Structure formats: C-alpha cells, structure tokens
Chains A and B, each alone.
Chain A
C-alpha cells in the first residue's frame, strides 16, 4: 500500500469512526433546510407537469406527440437512451471501479448507484408511454396465455431491451440495497425508539455486524460487482442494437455498441459530477467528496468524450469509404441538412468542450467542471436525438422524407422525467445515507501518513 500513502488521503481531516457516522447521518435526522425545500418544490412541480402531459397523452393518443409516418421515434426514445446512459455511470463507479480496487469510488458510489436506479426508472417509463397501446406493454414478456399459447419474438431487439432493462433495474436495485444494509443498521442503532427505529429495523434485516456475515457479505458484494460489470456493458450494447440491427442508413452500423457504451459512461460521469458538486455543497460533505474525485472523474470525461469523438469521425469515414449512397447521404444530411444545428450542438458539447479539461487548473475548479458537465449532459441528449431523428427523417425513398418538430406534450414529458429524477434524488438525500458509511470507515486510513498498513 506504499503508493496509497503517497496520495492525498481519501477522507480529509483525520475523521474518527464516530465522526463519519455523525457527518453522514446528521443531514438525514434534521428537518430539511430552505435550499432543499426550494429544490424539492421545483423538482416536484416539474414531475407534476410531466404527469399531466403523460396522462393527457395516454388518454388522447400518442398522436399528441410530433411524430409522423416517417419519424416514428423521436423524443421518447431519445429520452430513453439518454436516461439509460446516465444510469450507467453509477454502475461503473460502484461495480467496475470496485473490481479495479479504485478506492476513491467509496465517497461517491452510494449516490451514484441511487442515481442509476432513478435514471433507469426515468428511462423505463419512456418505452412504455411511447407505445400506441401502453396498457398492453406486458405483452412483451412471455407468459402462458389462452391465445394458443402465443409467446413473443426473441428475434426483436426491443424484446432484448425489455429483458435487459428489467434485469438491469432489478440487479442494480439489489446491489444498491445489499450495500445499504449495514448502513441501515447504523441508522437504526442511532435512532431513538419510535417509528423511525421500527422502519429501519425492518429495512436492515437484523444486521448485527457479525464478522461471519461480513465475510459472506463481501463475497456476495464481489459477485454482484462481477455480474454488474458485464451487465452494464450488455445493457447499452443491447440498447444500441435497437438501432444497429435495423436496415436504416445511419442506424445500421457495427460501431454502435462500443460507441454507445463509451457515450453512456461519458454522459453518466457528467451527471454524477453535476449531482455530486451540488450535493457536496448543500449537504456539507466537503471532506468526503474532494478534489481527487473531481480530478479522476474529469479525466474519465476527457477519455470517454474523446472515444465518442472518435466514433463520430469513424462513422463519417465509414460512410464515405463505403461508397453506399444512402449511408453517405445520411451523414451529409446530419452535418448540413435541416438538423445540422442539432449535430453541431452535439459535436461542440461532447467533443470540443471537454477538451479544456486537459488543463489542470480547470479540472480543479468546481465551478468550471460543473459548467462543463452541464454542456456534456446537453450534448449527449442531442447525440441520441441526432442518431434517431436525422437517420429516420430522410431514409431510402425521398418520397417518404418528412420533418419532425416536437410538441409541447413531448417537451413537458422530458421536463417531467427530470422532475421525477430530481424528486427521487432529493428524497433519497433526506431519508438514506448518501455516502456508504461502512465503506468509508474501511478506507479512512488510506493515505494518512504513518498509518499505511
């Protein structure tokens, strides 16, 4: 562990075990402050706007969205892929970095996992509400029925998607909850007798800190991390197959799986940083989320952002080199056609903006990194929009070309999904420990001089 000793400590200020418990649990036990209430009111209003829009859409028909015969997917699926991508960073931090023994993850993994869950919830809503008949969404799963028995089509990428998203949600939720159990026990044992204690007693499964259980627990945690790692890659790969297996020029590309996975991590990292920079300030967790996190995650953003940029170039090159006139046209149309503004928004936000993170000064500034992450979030939303809409709106037969313009219902639904996400995240900050207490205690001594073991 000699290398660890050379690095700054993971947790600043020589915290003692009891202080860690105190620091992380205190915000949950206080009545929330004005800033929290203000944020909650805004988020909840956005959520209600979304609920109204979706209710209207389901009552009236999917025609309330701006779609047409040619552009059958646009905002809904863009939002779906966007949110799924956001979700991936949480699993990356909690599972992949765990396997690589990146101990800096400890400060941010709980919140990142929660972000994954809420993002997957937001994502999961869109494929359901975008259906013509959402009330039959369950037909996508095979269940015995009186139709003969009619199963479903395992050859369809949408069916793969349904399995991938459900599995991803269930396994992420399990992983998150398993990680929470010891902390829930800590909260339980701090609570005075009453309703709060009763609730946390039920939630903490009778955890008593016994080391035999810890030993098995560590094994299961490792197994789940090992399962989540290929799972997270498979989920976005399958999402990309929704497009890559289609015959539409601009969708039909073998580069999609790695390109989508890199993009997902890119956008997810940006969202984690956006949230953590706010949470750190608002909740007073400066000692646990520090410059080291900012630095490492900024580097991840440069890396994945550059991979995404390379993918954009590769797509263009493949199209031009492949001399397929439909393919060539789609890419020219992206850069110079009616949606060129979306394309160049995407390129400038995703490829150009993150490059300034090469400068250490900028990487060390909370404000500048925060601004850049906002740009990345916007850029990655537009990436999915560009892929979906520009490929569809002008495909093979010029006679079927069409334009697309979102309606207010679609925009309200997008706002609503952000409302859902932030409502859930704010509630999470209030009722559960945002930092993995037990894990932080385990790394408390890392990097502290003279204590390296």
Chain B
C-alpha cells in the first residue's frame, strides 16, 4: 500500500537541521534525509545510532591476521620446512610484517564490501534520486504519513517555516522525473 509522502527541499544545512529537529518533536516519520555532503551533527539530530561496520572491520582484520600467521607458520615449519640461513623453523618475528599487511587488507576490503552490501550499492545500479539537485546543492527531507493525524497542510507549513524552498507531495516509490 503506497503511503503519502512530503518532500521538503532546503538550500542550507542549518535550515535542514532545524526542520529535522521540529519534525522529530512533532513525532513525524522521517523516511530519509538526502544531502550532497555528510552534514555533521545530523546523525545526532536524526537519532541514528553509530554504524556497526567497525565490528566487521575488527572481525575481518583479526581473521586475516590469525589465518595468515597460521599459514606462514604452516608453510615454513610444517608443510615443507626448508633450512633458510640457519634460521629457526618458527621464525615468528619474520612472520609479523606480512601478517600485519594481510590484516589491513582483510579489514579494509571487508569494511568496504560490507558498506556496499548494507547500503545496497553496486556498480551500474540505477540511482533513485529524490530530487535532481540532491547531489549538487539541495538538501532534502522526506516525511511520510504515519497516522490519521498527519495533516498535509500543517506539515507543509512546518517545512516552509524552517526554510524549505520547495515542498512536493508524492507517493511511496514514485519515480522522480530526471
């Protein structure tokens, strides 16, 4: 069932932030905010929790390091031990640099891969732009009707009071003309 939505377009981050604050005070449902750059402080106003992608980074890095260290030990001391310069079979200090590099490689690539998966980004994906200038100079706030008390006129006024330069009505999933 498609829902009724209201899009407020802003020119300035402070206007957007105050509109978001007001919308949250009025318990309006904020679907998403679209910005051309990462507006700092907005995540607090929106009440977004800290991304857990750092956990992916930690786990992937630890896995990479452990697996690589074990692999180095296994190839050098167990699978085919070769006497190299009289060094001990288990030359642990010499195994550290590569372990570190592989840890960074795993952690970095996994974090980015996780971001792309969680955020649903992939090469060639057709973007669903909410407003044609949202990657240039417009910030947009998308609100959705959440209960019968959702008064379009009042919400529209709220957005305009906080400096929206443009307010449009739309339905969920509606295509935006390019």
Q: Tell me the A residues contacting B by CB distance below 8 Å.
A: 16-18, 21, 142, 148-155, 159-160, 163-164, 167, 170-171, 174-175, 178, 181-182, 185-186, 188-190, 193, 201-220, 223-224, 227-228, 230-231, 234, 238, 241, 437-439, 441-442, 453
Contacts and interface: CB of A to CB of B under 8 A. Distances in A.
Contact of A217 (B34, B36, B119, B136): B119
Interface stretch (B103-111, B148-156, B162-170): B103-111
Interface of B: 11, 14, 32-40, 42-43, 46, 48, 50-51, 53-54, 57, 61, 71-72, 75-76, 79-80, 82, 84-85, 87, 91, 94-95, 97-98, 100-102, 104-105, 107-109, 111-112, 114-116, 118-130, 132-137, 140, 178
A219 B115 CA distance: 9
A142 B100 CA distance: 16
Specify which of B50, B114, B134 lies most central, judged by the most chain A CB atoms within 10 Å of its CB. B134
A209 B34 contact: yes
A164 B105 CA distance: 10
A226 to B, nearest CB: 8
Contacts of B128: 206, 208
A182 B135 contact: yes
Given A151-B79, A206-B125, A211 B101 contact: no
B48 A212 contact: yes
A241 B94 CA distance: 11
A195 to B, nearest CB: 14
A232 to B, nearest CB: 10
A148 B80 contact: yes
A215 B101 CA distance: 27
Task: List the 4 closest A-B pairs by CB distance, nearest first.
Answer: A206-B125, A17-B137, A151-B75, A219-B51
A210 to B, nearest CB: 5
A223 B54 CA distance: 7
B170 to A, nearest CB: 15
B41 to A, nearest CB: 8
Given A186-B136, A234-B101, A438-B37, A174 B119 contact: no
Contacts of A231: 101, 104
B127 A201 contact: yes
Nearest to B141: A211
B125 to A, nearest CB: 3
A186 B109 contact: no
B127 to A, nearest CB: 5
Q: Is the interface of A mostly helix, strand, loop or mixed?
A: helix
Given A170-B108, A219-B54, A223-B54, 19 more contacts: A17-B11, A149-B79, A153-B84, A163-B97, A163-B102, A170-B105, A171-B104, A174-B109, A182-B37, A209-B36, A211-B32, A216-B118, A219-B50, A220-B111, A220-B114, A227-B57, A234-B101, A438-B36, A442-B38
A212 B72 contact: no
Given A186-B135, A211-B34, A216 B115 contact: yes
Contacts of B130: 208-209
B101 A159 contact: no
Given A186-B36, A207-B127, A217-B38, A223 B98 contact: no
B57 to A, nearest CB: 5
Nearest to A211: B33
A18 B36 CA distance: 10
Contacts of A174: 108-109, 112
Contacts of B42: 211
A168 to B, nearest CB: 8
B38 A149 contact: no
B50 A154 contact: no
25 contacts: A16-B137, A142-B71, A151-B75, A154-B95, A163-B97, A171-B105, A189-B129, A189-B132, A193-B178, A201-B127, A208-B127, A208-B128, A208-B130, A209-B36, A210-B119, A213-B121, A217-B115, A219-B50, A220-B114, A224-B112, A227-B57, A234-B104, A241-B97, A438-B38, A442-B38
A171 B51 contact: no
A132 B127 CA distance: 50
Contacts of A230: 100, 104
Contacts of B87: 155
Contacts of B120: 206
Contact of A160 (B97, B125, B140): B97
B85 to A, nearest CB: 7
Contacts of A437: 37
Given A164-B101, A438-B37, A216 B80 contact: no
B37 A442 contact: yes
A153 B85 CA distance: 11
B138 to A, nearest CB: 8
Contacts of A213: 119, 121
Nearest to A148: B80
Nearest to A193: B178
A193 B130 CA distance: 18
A174 B48 CA distance: 26
